[in-house]
Chain A
Amino acid sequence: KNEVEQSPQNLTAQEGEFITINCSYSVGISALHWLQQHPGGGIVSLFMLSSGKKKHGRLIATINIQEKHSSLHITASHPRDSAVYICAVAQGAQKLVFGQGTRLTINP
């Protein structure tokens, strides 16, 4: 069983729709990260969470430590949001364990 599970694996939506990507994990963590990977391969850090909720522009990330679950939301989605979104958990001080990623496609 994977330590970090994301759903859905693929998501296609129309521009303007509200998007939710889910992440569940089975191990103890010190923090959870949401990352964005574009077709060229580069990885950008979006959020690091250890509790509660964070917001940056149209992106919102939440985490429930008791349920070992996190969600990434995108409001008013746009084609430029199309990318792979990756959940990764920090075990201890350094090592990140990654989920498989969710490929998001936003159609105009």
Chain B
Amino acid sequence: EPEVTQTPSHQVTQMGQEVILRCVPISNHLYFYWYRQILGQKVEFLVSFYNNEISEKSEIFDDQFSVERPDGSNFTLKIRSTKLEDSAMYFCASSPEAQPQHFGDGTRLSIL
């Protein structure tokens, strides 16, 4: 069965550095999402992406964050000038229509 693939599984970065989290959505899916889960907390919506543009974003998704679909297969989340509080598990998801969503296994981001 097709899967959403995320790389790396764990990323360790120094505070202030830029980080790019990568996702390969399921090939025929049209909607793409990023979520994050801070340790011990609930999953939070960051952004949704459709037709090569952001369709919705949360208050968390400020100017520090950006998303891109650089080619036909990858969907990336860039975090500029990382802060300690950016440490979290980041999940990518995709769907053929708006719902239901298929999730990747997540990237654990640790900011030192």
Contact = CB atoms under 8 A, between A and B. Distances in A.
Nearest to B97: A93
Contact of A45 (B41, B55, B56, B102): B102
A27 interface: no
A96 B56 CA distance: 11
B65 interface: no
A48 B98 CA distance: 12
Given A98-B43, A100-B42, A48 B48 contact: no
A86 B101 CA distance: 14
Interface stretch (A12-20, A36-44, A62-70, A72-80): A36-44
A42 B103 contact: yes
A89 B38 CA distance: 19
* Contact-residue bracket for chain B: 20 to 34
A5 B57 CA distance: 22
Q: Which among A33, A92, A98, A99 has the greatest number of chain B C-beta atoms within 10 A? A: A98
Q: Chain A interface secondary structure, helix, strand, loop or mixed?
A: strand
B67 interface: no
A24 B3 CA distance: 30
B51 interface: no
A45 B104 CA distance: 11
Contacts of A40: 105
A31 interface: yes
Given A86-B43, A88-B43, A96 B105 contact: no
Contacts of B50: 94
Interface of B: 31, 33, 35, 37, 41-45, 48, 50, 55-56, 58, 89, 91, 98-106, 108
Interface of A: 30-31, 33, 35, 40-45, 48, 86, 88, 90, 92-101
Given A42-B103, A45-B103, A101-B42, 10 more contacts: A41-B37, A41-B105, A42-B106, A45-B101, A92-B56, A93-B55, A94-B48, A94-B99, A98-B42, A99-B42
